Amino acid sequence: MLRVGVLYPLHSAEDDYPNMAARLEPPVEVSVVHTDAVDLHTVEDCRRTGDWDHLEPGAGELRTLGVDVCMWACTSGSFVYGLTGAGEQACQLGSYLGVPASSTSLAFAKALKTLGITRVAVAATYPEELAAAFVDFLGQGGIQVVHLNHLGIWTAVEVGAVGPKQVIDFVRANNHPDAEAILVPDTALHTTAFLPALDEAAGKPVLTANQVTLWEALRLGGRVPGQRGFGRLFAAAEDPLGERE
């Protein structure tokens, strides 16, 4: 069984990972290790959340668990470093653990490339400045954001309390006609229990943070992610061995 290590800041929607992993065919084993963080959605605090001093203790714990892949499950704690910085962050984790590693931000970029999508709408829970930093990150990867909206929520604890109906309504309200997909970039937001409903509400792929994080873990672990019930991304049966990093 593929053993996925997830580094997750604080506590909010981490149960999305084992719940989703148990529904996969075949299932995978997920170990969630929590990292210290500043629960405030400012660019400065997100940079502190993603620095090595915060990541190393959790990575050390994962190393004792013998995981096959590692994901830094924090979008903001990776995209605030830019595309190059996020790549360096993932490389440091991978070198430390001796296994393939990535982050949620890089997973968004890879998922969009896999689906052949270059124009997106972003429905972010973040405050305006942090949402704009995500737009900048996407632009560095050649992704055009044709529409951006943000809820202005300052903490992950508050985001974790947002319910399915609110998420679906938020996605539907931000379905710009020029967007090929809608991105929902916060790992503090529960989404994996109702991914098909999000795609249905939009009539196009909806990529959420926890969804793309586990998808990328499967890809790095050599698993073809053709699965039903997890949105259009998981239905796209790419052979991950051809692009393994």
- Res 98: pLDDT: 98
Angle of CA points 178, 180, 185, to nearest 5°? 110
Domain that holds residue 63: 3-104+210-243
200-242: pLDDT as tens digits: 999 999 999 999 999 999 999 998 657 888 999 998 755 444 4
Claim to verify: residue 16 and residue 47 sit in the same structural domain: yes
> What is the 3-class SS of 151-191, one letter each residue?
CCCCCHHHHHCCCHHHHHHHHHHCCCCCCCEEEECCCCCCC
- The answer to whether the bond into 26 is cis (omega within 30° of 0) is yes
Claim to verify: residue 129 and residue 69 sit in the same structural domain: no
Q: How many residues does the chain have?
A: 245
Claim to verify: residue 117 and residue 89 sit in the same structural domain: no
Backbone phi, psi, residue 207, to 5°: -105, 120
23-65: pLDDT as tens digits: 998 899 999 999 987 777 899 999 999 999 999 999 999 999 9
153-195: pLDDT as tens digits: 999 899 999 999 999 999 999 999 999 999 999 999 999 999 9
Claim to verify: residue 115 and residue 150 sit in the same structural domain: yes
Claim to verify: residue 13 and residue 72 sit in the same structural domain: yes
**DSSP secondary structure code for residue 51 in this structure:** S
Claim to verify: residue 230 and residue 202 sit in the same structural domain: no
Claim to verify: residue 167 and residue 188 sit in the same structural domain: yes
Claim to verify: residue 10 and residue 91 sit in the same structural domain: yes
Question: Residue 229 belongs to a domain with what CATH number?
Answer: 3.40.50.1860
Claim to verify: residue 221 and residue 100 sit in the same structural domain: yes
Claim to verify: residue 42 and residue 75 sit in the same structural domain: yes
| Three-state DSSP class for residue 147 | strand
Claim to verify: residue 8 and residue 94 sit in the same structural domain: yes
Q: Is 235 exposed, middle or buried (0-12, 13-18, 19+ CB in 10 A)?
A: middle
115-151: pLDDT as tens digits: 999 999 999 999 999 999 999 999 999 999 999 999 9
Claim to verify: residue 100 and residue 7 sit in the same structural domain: yes
